[in-house]
Amino acid sequence: MPIQVGDTAPDFSLPAVKGEEKLTFKLSDYRGKQNVVIAFYPMDWTPVCSTQIPTYQSNLDKFSGLNAQIVAISTDSVPSHIAWQQKSIGTVSFPIASDFFPHGEVAKKYGVLMEGGPIAGVNNRAVFVVDKQGKIAFAKVYEILHQPDPAEVFAVLQTL
């Protein structure tokens, strides 16, 4: 079961890329400083994900204006994230993190790793907003073929 609004967000540290720049994204680095939007998506190279991530990129100024850092997370590898940007979605200037090893560890902490069915081992499409105090302010799991509406997240961020 996914974590719920009011829960303390599980901390994590994951390898990530911003464009081709390799970095480490650590949730606790933002505590007391910025809200964090965690966007779990199933897989690089898939149609809905290839629309979802560029949508966040095109709304980056709005996220920044609401004092929010966005991070996208999938169980794909860092090299896959880099190649996906180079060959498909264009450069993304926010972190895309890799929950590749240990496989799906962060998705498990957030209750969104699919552990059965035809696409076991990838995470559900889900969005969490973590406030500056480290609490979950928004939590929603989406149908796998449904792209999240950023307006839902903006509405929550405006209240924080």
45, 85 contact by CB (below 8 A): no
Q: Examine the residue annotation and report whether 49 is marked as an active-site residue of this protein.
A: yes
Q: Of 16, 17, 27, 49, which residue is the catalytic one?
A: 49
Tokens of 87: 């060959």
Tokens of 151: 């307006």
Sequence-distant (6+) residues with CB within 8 A of 159 are 137
Mark residue 134 as left, alpha or beta (left: phi above 0; alpha: psi -120 to 50; beta: remaining).
left
State the catalytic residues: 49
